Amino acid sequence: MLRVEHLTARYGAVVALRGVSMHVDEGDLVAVVGPNGAGKSTLLNTVAGLLKPVNGKVLLDGTDVTGADPARLVRAGLALVPEHRRIFRDLTVGENLQVAGITASAADRRLRLDAARQRFPILDSRWDTAAGHLSGGEAQQLAIARALMSDPKLVLLDEPTLGLSPVMTDVVFDLLAELHERGRTVLLVEQNAHRALALADRGYVMRPGEIAAEGPGAELAARDDLFATYLGGGVG
Ligand code: ATP
């Protein structure tokens, strides 16, 4: 479904990705983990069209979408849940979701809004609340619900548990597992490396600018050497 080939991206003189290749097959949950500054967000943002690479290709279902504008990528079935959520704080929960469903027909939008209210009871109960008043965990659920409003084939999530309490982290991991079980294709960047890899079909461990290791998630999760070298030592 997603294929990234020899991607190089830079911010001025800083090379953030150096020839990175990776792929996500349909229906898989793929985790990307690695230390701060390894280039994980850069990878997601480049795939989502927010950053133009200096070299390399992004293919979505075989179509070259390198450097395509983000709106076209949403129409092609890709949705990004960005780091720090980036919801509209002054709009209500319901308005945030309505805006996100703007590309859908009125009938589809209604169906998806109903589905969001059912799937996220906490959002339903806060429907008319300004999103800026939500807790971190509620805001993250809103960010994920918003991404689902376009009924994406591929969901990219950048550190969805960042700053969340242990309870809310569990809620988000349960939600990811559910998306995966329902067959949604997911590319997940996570700081909870062990947990993300354990959930993933496949995983990638990054070191600055590069892929250091790849393989089945469970195998990577059991590699003490990777954790010692790239992931801060501790498992968990
Ligand atoms: P983190 O977990 O800290 O978000 P990351 O693995 O997502 O890390 P990136 O945010 O992709 O890493 O950063 C990769 C490299 O690019 C780092 O050296 C970072 O300092 C640099 N970088 C990221 N964003 C910018 C920017 N807007 N301008 C300049 N350099 C940047």
Give mean pLDDT in consecutive 10-residue pieces for the chain, a chain of 236 residues. Answer: 97 95 98 95 94 95 92 91 87 94 90 95 96 94 93 94 92 94 96 95 97 96 90 61
Atom of ligand 1 nearest to the CA of 206: 6
* Cα 15 to ligand 1 centre (Å): 10
* Cα 119 to ligand 1 centre (Å): 33
Our answer on whether the CB atom of 36 is closer than 6 Å to any ligand 1 atom is yes
Our answer on whether the CB atom of 112 is closer than 6 Å to any ligand 1 atom is no
Altogether, the residues listed in the chain come to a count of: 236
70 near 81, Cβ under 8 Å?
A: no
CA atoms of 113 and 9, how far apart (whole Å): 36
Runs of H (alpha helix) within 81-181: 93-100, 106-119, 121-125, 136-148, 166-181
Helix (H, G, I), strand (E, B) or coil at 92: strand
Our answer on whether the CB atom of 42 is closer than 6 Å to any ligand 1 atom is yes
> What pLDDT score was predicted for residue 83?
84
* Cα 13 to ligand 1 centre (Å): 12
* Cα 110 to ligand 1 centre (Å): 38
Our answer on whether the CB atom of 215 is closer than 6 Å to any ligand 1 atom is no
Q: Sort strands 63-64 and 154-158 into parallel, antiparallel or unpaired.
A: unpaired
> What pLDDT score was predicted for residue 169?
94
> What pLDDT score was predicted for residue 236?
42
The residue nearest atom 29 of ligand 1, judged by CA position, is 11
> What pLDDT score was predicted for residue 232?
79
> What pLDDT score was predicted for residue 31?
98
The residue nearest atom 20 of ligand 1, judged by CA position, is 37
Contacts of 69 (CB under 8 A, 6+ apart): 49
Number of helices (H) and strands (E), helices first, in the chain? Answer: 10, 10
